[in-house]
Amino acid sequence: MPLLDAFRMDGQVAIVTGAGAGIGQSIAETLAGVGASVLVSDLDAVRAQAVAEGIRNTGGEAMGLACNVTVEDDRTALVQTALDQFGKISVLVNNAGGGGPKPFDMPLADFIWAYELNVFSVFRLCQLGAPELAKAGGGAILNISSMSAENANVRMASYASSKAALSHLTRNLAYDLGPDQIRVNAIAPGAIRTAALGSVLTPQIETAMLKRTPLQRLGEPIDIGYAALFLCSPAAAWISGQVLTVSGGGVQELD
């Protein structure tokens, strides 16, 4: 296989959740840019459709769909829509997630919700999607975890522990799905310049973060997009069960 062909994804069909902005948008656009057909899903239908339209305007193939990944009917509709629109599924990117700092005395419902969003929804989408990937001859599942899964800090118990669960879920699913030639990996991003980070980022916080970042800059969504391309492409055909940290070589913390 010619070197650059190892990064092509012609004929592949990818679902990317939480793809209406930020990291998810970058992943969707990057995969489409190397030939994949992409179902762009997001809680916000307008954003999902706008990203899909942008892909189509640059010559790619994409469709936008509203999806709340914590709702079973939405999850099943997401998988079925990909099959109806594109005929198969060969890549599943579980990017939708969230949370953030919560006080120790948070209501138990808040703690449960972090797992509902960051762990249970991913597991269920893998259950729904894996049989279709197997029918397609195999493929790739990519979960977006977080550096918080390895770090420890105040007010991060719910979010960080749920992301840690996601990282270890990734390692275990690689064993479950490997016999069907389905690779399962994750990316643990550091601080990425998204709207979510921008809502709390100040010059002082950024300076403090960069002191612990060897490459002396914060990440951009495309940094995760390129990492996702590698892990989803034929170039990573013998990589599974791994969590790739993409953080400029360091650790960025809000505190």
What's the rounded Cα separation, in Å, for the pair 209 and 246? 15
Per residue in 205-230, is it b (16+ CB within 10 Å) or e — as a string? bbeebbeebeeeebbebebbbbbbbe
Cα–Cα nearest to 134, from 75, 82, 88: 88
What's the rounded Cα separation, in Å, for the pair 211 and 179? 44
DSSP string, 24-45: HHHHHHHHHHTT-EEEEEESSH
What's the rounded Cα separation, in Å, for the pair 19 and 51? 8
Please identify every residue annotated as catalytic: 159
